[in-house]
Amino acid sequence: MSIINFAVIGYGGMGSYHAHNLIPAESTRFHVVGTYDISGERQQISKGKGLHIYESLDEVLKDSNIEAILIATPNDSHKEIAIRALRAGKHVVCEKPVAMNTDELDEILAVAKETGNVFMVHQNRRWDPDFLIIRQLYQNKTIGDIFQIETRVQGANGIPGDWRHLEKHGGGMLLDWGVHLLDQLLWLVDSPVQSVHSDLSYILGDEVDDGFMSYITFENGVRALVEVGTTNYTKLPRWYVKGLEGTAKINDWDLSGEIIAATGRKDVAAPTPIQAGVGLTKTMAPPSEEATEKLAFPEAKADFVPFYQNFYEVVREGAEPIVKNEEVRKVLKLIDDIFESCHKG
């Protein structure tokens, strides 16, 4: 089948990663023709890598050789670029967060519907190995029915970059890492959200949140704690997940951690009390040896194709998108609700 020619709008950190790593990885399907960036410096870097330089977004959109564009500009510009590109007859891959809020997303989706062009959001962390392991544990009930999920990312470097510090550009960590963690969570737990309690943090004195904690309950009884922190000098595990028959912990993206599962044996000795501070405890003592076993993590394998392969199949063969716009909308609506509840106290 024929190649899809791409132009990248916003050749910064993520735009250049798409241009040189993600899109070319599907080289029999795509070709990155060129870039448009408002920064002359970034344009020169792109030119140095052999890409064609467009002088304006209009010039990209008028180029009939370009069939699809990738939007990797600051968050506040996604809506306008997406709508203009869709109206110009281009298919669009848009970086996360898709837009500043659901009202903006609805405007984009209305134009996608009207024009019939494909609009897909790059929620790439559905392919993260740590998430794929948790997804398998959840689906295969390896540690029984999972009833509690703690999902965190923590750093000590504050909010990165420049525009991410500013509200008008859609800065802050809820719209940055938050959208990834919430997307993973809502895709994992196939049940409507029942309630959410959140706390945005402003420890570093920025006008946008430098992190947040959300406690989310789902109608099926699953509870989740979601945390993004940028002032954490030592970290809690990336995932801590409790099932009725075991507990799983993934420490970091290096996939270190453990699964401890109940053996279910009835003939095990009672736990021996341990010294706890100045007292004794049996409740918090480790279970006796026969009561638990260590399980290996399942292989971190996706049972779905990579993002750009899927995008190609959506455009060329009408395949179902792996990242569906209604899912993206649910995540953004949850983010709207978190902002609203925090701002109204």
Contact residues for ligand NAD, defined by CB under 6 A: 9-15, 36-39, 42, 72-75, 77, 95-96, 122, 124, 161, 176
Q: If you search the block for the tokens 């704690």, which residue do you land on?
A: 225
Provide the CA 266 distance to its chain's centre, in angstroms. Answer: 42
Q: Which of 172/229 has CB closer to ligand NAD?
A: 172
Q: Which of 194/304 has CB closer to ligand NAD?
A: 304
Q: Which of 54/218 has CB closer to ligand NAD?
A: 54
Q: Which of 36/308 has CB closer to ligand NAD?
A: 36
Q: Which of 143/228 has CB closer to ligand NAD?
A: 228
Phi, psi dihedral angles at 294 (to 5 degrees) = -95, 130
Q: Which of 48/279 has CB closer to ligand NAD?
A: 48
**Do residues 293 and 308 lie in contact, with contact meaning Cβ atoms separated by under 8 Å?**
no
Strand duo 146-154 + 239-243: pairing: antiparallel
Q: Which of 8/259 has CB closer to ligand NAD?
A: 8
Shortest Å distance, C-beta 129 to ligand NAD? 14
Shortest Å distance, C-beta 38 to ligand NAD? 4
CA distance 331 to 152: 17
Strand duo 68-71 + 4-9: pairing: parallel
**Do residues 79 and 108 lie in contact, with contact meaning Cβ atoms separated by under 8 Å?**
yes
CA distance 310 to 163: 31
Q: Which of 24/144 has CB closer to ligand NAD?
A: 24
DSSP tag of 310? H
Shortest Å distance, C-beta 111 to ligand NAD? 18
Report the helix count and the strand count for the chain, using DSSP H and E: 9, 16
DSSP class per residue in 71-140:
E-S-GGGHHHHHHHHHHTT-EEEEESS-SSSHHHHHHHHHHHHHH---EEEE-GGGG-HHHHHHHHHHHH
- Closest CB to ligand NAD: residue number: 12
Shortest Å distance, C-beta 62 to ligand NAD? 16
Shortest Å distance, C-beta 71 to ligand NAD? 8
Shortest Å distance, C-beta 337 to ligand NAD? 20
Phi, psi dihedral angles at 312 (to 5 degrees) = -60, -45
Shortest Å distance, C-beta 27 to ligand NAD? 21
Shortest Å distance, C-beta 161 to ligand NAD? 6
Strand duo 30-36 + 4-9: pairing: parallel
